[in-house]
């Protein structure tokens, strides 16, 4: 009785004698807060201050080239989103409603591609397309679809599989044809999920950076790429800052609209708690299932296979030259590389180690703080903000903030992993906070009635739940750091360039051995990323079962 | 001796403004006495237990324990034990580790803890499960472990919040008998909250209705 009223407030309320001691809360909240303020809020403020300078705004907005970039960014994002939704609806339906052999494999494949670094997906599309289409708009759209298909299938499918089939049956008994059922019952019910998926895909494609850097061919640039080009290639910092702010405004507007729209069209549906999937019965259904599974798998697997194929292709037939020459700075006598692929691999692993350690430490403290502090929700929201800020914005902000003494940190090797950690921390918090929130506050109370001080009760009841989800988060952080390209483009230096940077550089060159090396590196990056994510999901599923 | 004086608790709720759950409630429990506190659900009996344990702060009124006003004393320094309705055994600790938790908090040396754990396990009739994880105990075993855990540090007063609710009839009746003899054997001062009059009559020395306490 009264459970809903007094649950869990004991240790938290202001004057309650059982509250956690202040020093503990400060120790938990302090480091993540300081981290977010120094490495996120401050650079963002610097960026805004530069980008809102009246002279720079007038200059940038006055150029027609700016509007060309904004126009291209917008329309390719809209078309990419529409294509992804249209192509994703059928697989979403098939995976949600039918039980078939290979269903989990198809879903796993979608997820695997989704977690791949952008440069790897770009490289895979580059590998699979014939030279004539190589750096065309079709390549960009194709990469965006392949990348984001998982968003549509997962988001829409998650609602679809829980929609009661009886609703559709009811419409049919009222005289609706299958098409009318779809139009008047199913689609309206799926609409919030479709809007949500569209918003996510739009966000990803509007801020597309790695894919465009590989496939845009220089002629087509999104706002993100233009920010990078102006800032690092042309040295027009102010103009780049204005573009960054412009991008923040457009993205903010899009996110706001999608939240509003989802609220407006949300229905309270009695979703079935368990998904009911059945085997395909009619010939038509069976054909649909087989064609969809084959089509999706082909769409995802063929580019990845092409990646491997291109890594061993040379003008004189297949050979391992691309792989075996990787460590040598000199490919042939006299042909020297500006890029050392093996060194890039080592740099990437070093950055990954530091970034993962940092993300786990900061993310772990933040998770505990969010779960324990009364105003934890604010910290939670604050730490999610880097998710909504593009990696390019984060990297650019850090670049222009930490460039003067006493904070001239551009030459420090730790600035790059700090940038990676900033991007990874929200994922660490997300993967752990649910577990901590699920800890019954009555367990803490039980410890208190047995004589444990508030701090002791917290340490013996709440804290032990953190380790497993933190291991999951560590896997994600490592994968994110390895593939990170946006912030890295600003923060890495010649001597410390990472795998994605090396891949982009090698693929942008002529010379078949350099190209093969680029593809070989992409294969390595893809394999390691998928392995890390699978490992981290394995840990999570184990934890769930026990 | 437990002495509850003039406790008032109200909760703010979205729909009805503020709801008064306990309105000037007073209650005394003598040493070694077992009091059964009866009342329909929603009458605030569990809230009263939480006030005594220090898990909920009353709007007004005082809780006295052995001649001392403990209203502002945090739970861990009150010396109360509590058996929760759904046991709240620590899932990541074994049976013995659950039971010795309170002894560890009291700073007892290991040998002494070991002895005490064996003692209370014998008291609740559960020898031989020390090392078992608490996640694969039966319903009856869980209740016994929860009881053993709260009895181990020898609390000044034991609070039982519907400890036998939700068990099947046979197990319930057997545990009523066992609980009575265990509490008697340990010479415990106890406040038992329940909505089952027969259960209260079987276990308690005295029965009070929460409605009569205001």
- Classify residue A267 as exposed, middle or buried by CB count within 10 Å of its CB (0-12, 13-18, 19+): exposed
B140 touches chain A (CB under 8 A): no
Min distance A11 CA to chain B CA atoms (Å): 8
* Residues of chain A that touch chain B, judged by Cβ-Cβ distance less than 8 Å: 1-2, 5-6, 10, 13, 15-18, 440, 442-443, 445-454, 456-457, 460-461, 464-465
- Residues A57, A373: Cα–Cα separation, whole Å: 41
- Looking at residue A7, its pLDDT comes to 39
Min distance B80 CA to chain A CA atoms (Å): 6
- Looking at residue A11, its pLDDT comes to 42
Helices (H), A312-375: 321-324, 341-372
pLDDT digits (tens, 9 = 90+) for B60-97: 999 999 999 999 988 888 889 999 888 888 888 889 99
CB contact under 8 A, A17 and B46: no
- Residues A491, A61: Cα–Cα separation, whole Å: 27
Angle subtended at Cα A51 by Cα A46 and Cα A53, rounded to the nearest 5 degrees = 105
The beta-strand segments (E) located in A137-218 are: none
Nearest to A461 among B90, B105, B153 (CB): B90
Residues B169, B161 contacting (CB under 8 angstroms)? no
CB contact under 8 A, A6 and B105: no
Alpha carbon A467 to its chain centroid, in Å, reads: 23
- Looking at residue B210, its pLDDT comes to 87
Unique residue bearing structure tokens 């580059």:
A126
Exposure string over A74-106, b if 16+ CB within 10 A, otherwise e: bebbebbbebbbebbbebbbbbbbbebeebeeb
- Residues B124, B147: Cα–Cα separation, whole Å: 8
B194 touches chain A (CB under 8 A): no
Min distance A445 CA to chain B CA atoms (Å): 7
CB contact under 8 A, A454 and B74: yes
- Classify residue A364 as exposed, middle or buried by CB count within 10 Å of its CB (0-12, 13-18, 19+): buried
Angle between helices A118-128 and A137-160 (to 10 degrees): 120
**Alpha-carbon distances of A3 from A214, A260, B12, B64, B195, rounded to whole Å:** 57, 33, 13, 25, 16
Which portions of chain A are predicted below pLDDT 70? 1-15, 166, 169-175, 262, 265-274, 327-339, 374-376, 543-546
Furthest-apart CA atoms within chain B: distance in Å: 55
B82 touches chain A (CB under 8 A): yes
Q: Where are the domains of chain B?
A: 1-79+155-214, 89-152
- Residues A250, A205: Cα–Cα separation, whole Å: 13
**β-bridge mates for residue B9, sequence order:** B22
Q: How many residues does chain A have?
A: 546
Cα torsion at A277, A282, A287, A289 (round to 10°)?
0
CA nearest neighbour of A443 among B92, B35, B158: B92
- Residues A213, A504: Cα–Cα separation, whole Å: 8
CA nearest neighbour of A457 among B205, B94, B102: B102
Min distance A546 CA to chain B CA atoms (Å): 10
CB contact under 8 A, A461 and B56: no
CB contact under 8 A, A450 and B150: yes
Q: Quote the tokens at residue B89.
A: 């055994």
- Residues A267, A192: Cα–Cα separation, whole Å: 8
Q: Quote the tokens at residue A471.
A: 């291991």
Q: Is the pTM of this model over 0.90?
A: no
CB contact under 8 A, B92 and A442: no
- Looking at residue A10, its pLDDT comes to 41
A20, closest residue in chain B (CA to CA): B74
Give the number of C-alpha atoms closer than 13 A to the C-alpha of residue B108, restricted to the C-beta side.
Answer: 19
CB-CB neighbors (< 8 A) of B155 in chain A: 449
CB count, 10 Å around CB of A5? 16
Q: Quote the tokens at residue A42.
A: 């401050």
CB-CB neighbors (< 8 A) of A6 in chain B: 11, 47, 50, 55-56
CB contact under 8 A, B76 and A464: no
- Looking at residue A335, its pLDDT comes to 57
CA nearest neighbour of B100 among B121, B74, B126: B121
CB-CB neighbors (< 8 A) of A457 in chain B: 76
- Looking at residue A344, its pLDDT comes to 86
- Looking at residue A359, its pLDDT comes to 95
- Residues B166, A452: Cα–Cα separation, whole Å: 28
Task: Work out whether the CA dihedral A353, A354, A358, A359 comes out positive or negative.
Answer: negative
Please give the helix or strand (H or E) that residue A206 lies within, else none.
helix A187-206
Fold of B1-79+155-214: Rossmann fold (3.40.50)
**Alpha-carbon distances of A446 from B36, B77, B86, rounded to whole Å:** 21, 13, 11
Residues A301, A477 contacting (CB under 8 angstroms)? no
A15, closest residue in chain B (CA to CA): B57
- Residues A222, A220: Cα–Cα separation, whole Å: 7
CB count, 10 Å around CB of B70? 21
A10, closest residue in chain B (CA to CA): B55
- Looking at residue A269, its pLDDT comes to 56
Cα torsion at A512, A517, A519, A525 (round to 10°)?
-170
CB-CB neighbors (< 8 A) of B108 in chain A: none
Residues B167, B174 contacting (CB under 8 angstroms)? no
Output the tens digit of pLDDT for each of chain B's 214 residues.
899 999 999 987 666 678 888 999 999 999 999 999 998 888 889 899 999 998 888 999 999 999 999 999 888 888 899 998 888 888 888 899 999 888 988 889 999 999 999 999 998 888 888 888 888 888 889 999 999 999 999 999 999 999 988 788 888 998 899 899 999 988 999 999 998 999 999 999 999 998 887 7
Exposure string over A16-26, b if 16+ CB within 10 A, otherwise e: bbbbbeeebbe
Say whether the peptide bond before residue A406 is cis (omega within 30 degrees of 0).
yes
Residues B34, B203 contacting (CB under 8 angstroms)? yes
Min distance A76 CA to chain B CA atoms (Å): 47
SS3 B68: strand
Q: Quote the tokens at residue B183.
A: 């509490």
Angle subtended at Cα A299 by Cα A295 and Cα A302, rounded to the nearest 5 degrees = 120
Pairing verdict, β B80-83 and B157-161: parallel
CB contact under 8 A, B41 and A451: no
Angle subtended at Cα A232 by Cα A231 and Cα A234, rounded to the nearest 5 degrees = 75
For the CA atoms of chain A, what is the radius of gyration? 25
The size of the A-B interface in CB pairs under 8 A is: 104
CB-CB neighbors (< 8 A) of A11 in chain B: none
CB contact under 8 A, B101 and A454: no
- Classify residue A456 as exposed, middle or buried by CB count within 10 Å of its CB (0-12, 13-18, 19+): middle
**Alpha-carbon distances of A545 from A281, A358, A433, A540, B88, rounded to whole Å:** 33, 28, 18, 9, 20
CB count, 10 Å around CB of B66? 13
- Residues A205, A70: Cα–Cα separation, whole Å: 13
Unique residue bearing structure tokens 């480091």:
A31
Exposure string over A223-239, b if 16+ CB within 10 A, otherwise e: bbbbbbbbbbeeebbbb
CB-CB neighbors (< 8 A) of B46 in chain A: 1-2
- Residues A127, A134: Cα–Cα separation, whole Å: 8
């Amino acid at each position: 009785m009264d459970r809903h009223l007094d649950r869990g407030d004991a240790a938290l309320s202001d004057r309650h004698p059982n509250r956690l001691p202040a020093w503990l809360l400060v120790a938990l909240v302090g480091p993540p807060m300081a981290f977010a303020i120094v490495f996120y809020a401050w650079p963002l403020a610097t960026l805004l201050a530069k980008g809102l300078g009246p002279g720079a705004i007038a200059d940038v907005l006055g150029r027609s080239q700016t509007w060309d970039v904004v126009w291209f960014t917008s329309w390719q994002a809209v078309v990419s989103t529409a294509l992804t939704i249209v192509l994703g609806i059928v697989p979403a339906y098939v995976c949600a409603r039918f039980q078939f052999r290979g269903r989990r494999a198809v879903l796993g494949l979608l997820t695997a591609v989704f977690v791949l670094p952008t440069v790897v997906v770009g490289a895979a599309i580059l590998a699979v397309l014939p030279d004539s289409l190589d750096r065309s708009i079709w390549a960009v759209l194709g990469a965006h679809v392949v990348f984001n298909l998982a968003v549509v299938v997962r988001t829409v499918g998650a609602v679809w599989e829980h929609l009661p089939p009886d609703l559709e049956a009811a419409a049919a008994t009222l005289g609706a044809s299958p098409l009318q059922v779809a139009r008047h019952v199913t689609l309206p019910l799926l609409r919030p999920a479709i809007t949500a998926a569209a918003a996510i895909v739009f966000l990803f494609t509007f801020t597309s950076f790695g894919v465009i850097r590989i496939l845009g061919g220089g002629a087509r640039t999104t706002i993100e790429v233009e920010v990078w080009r102006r800032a690092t290639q042309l040295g027009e910092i102010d103009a780049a800052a204005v573009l960054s702010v412009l991008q923040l405004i457009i993205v903010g507007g899009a996110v706001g609209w999608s939240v509003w729209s989802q609220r407006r069209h949300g229905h309270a549906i009695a979703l079935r708690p368990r998904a009911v999937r059945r085997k395909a019965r009619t010939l038509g259904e069976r054909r649909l299932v087989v064609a969809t599974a084959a089509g999706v798998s082909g769409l995802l697997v063929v580019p990845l296979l092409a990646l491997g194929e291109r890594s061993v292709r040379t003008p004189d037939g297949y050979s391992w030259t691309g792989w075996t020459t990787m460590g040598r700075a000199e490919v042939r006598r006299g042909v020297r590389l500006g890029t050392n692929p093996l060194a890039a691999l080592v740099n990437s692993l070093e950055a990954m180690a530091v970034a993962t350690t940092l993300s786990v430490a900061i993310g772990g403290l933040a998770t505990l703080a969010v779960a324990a502090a009364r105003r934890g929700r604010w910290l939670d929201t604050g730490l999610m903000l880097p998710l909504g800020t593009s990696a390019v914005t984060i990297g650019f902000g850090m670049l222009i903030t930490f460039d003067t003494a006493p904070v001239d940190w551009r030459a420090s090797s730790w600035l790059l992993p700090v940038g990676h950690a900033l991007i990874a921390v929200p994922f660490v918090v997300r993967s752990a906070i649910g577990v901590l929130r699920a800890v019954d506050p009555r367990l803490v109370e039980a410890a208190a009635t047995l004589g444990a001080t508030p701090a002791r009760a917290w340490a013996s009841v709440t804290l032990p739940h953190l380790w497993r989800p933190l291991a999951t988060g560590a896997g994600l952080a490592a994968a994110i750091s390895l593939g990170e390209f946006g912030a890295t483009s600003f923060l890495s230096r010649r001597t410390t360039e990472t795998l994605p940077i090396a891949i982009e550089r090698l693929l942008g060159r002529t010379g078949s051995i350099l190209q093969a090396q680029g593809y070989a590196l992409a294969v390595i990056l893809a394999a390691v990323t998928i392995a890390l994510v699978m490992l981290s999901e394995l840990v999570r599923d184990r934890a769930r079962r026990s | 001796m437990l002495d509850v004086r003039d406790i008032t608790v109200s909760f703010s709720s979205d729909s009805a403004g503020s709801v008064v759950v306990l309105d000037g409630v007073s209650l005394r429990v003598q040493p070694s006495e077992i009091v059964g506190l009866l009342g329909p659900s929603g009458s605030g009996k569990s809230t009263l237990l939480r006030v005594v344990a220090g898990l909920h702060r009353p709007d007004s009124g005082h809780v006295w324990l052995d001649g001392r006003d403990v209203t502002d004393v945090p739970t861990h320094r009150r010396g109360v034990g509590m058996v929760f309705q759904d046991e709240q055994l620590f899932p990541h600790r074994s049976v013995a580790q659950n039971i010795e938790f309170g002894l560890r908090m009291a700073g007892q040396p290991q040998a002494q803890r070991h002895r005490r754990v064996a003692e209370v396990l014998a008291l609740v009739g559960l020898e031989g499960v020390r090392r078992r994880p608490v996640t694969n105990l039966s319903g009856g075993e869980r209740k016994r472990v929860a009881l053993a855990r709260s009895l181990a540090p020898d609390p000044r007063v034991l609070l039982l919040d519907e400890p036998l609710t939700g068990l099947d009839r046979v197990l319930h009746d057997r545990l009523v008998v066992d609980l009575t003899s265990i509490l008697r054997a340990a010479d415990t001062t106890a406040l038992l909250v329940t909505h089952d009059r027969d259960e209260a009559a079987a276990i308690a020395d005295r029965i009070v209705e929460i409605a009569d306490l205001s």
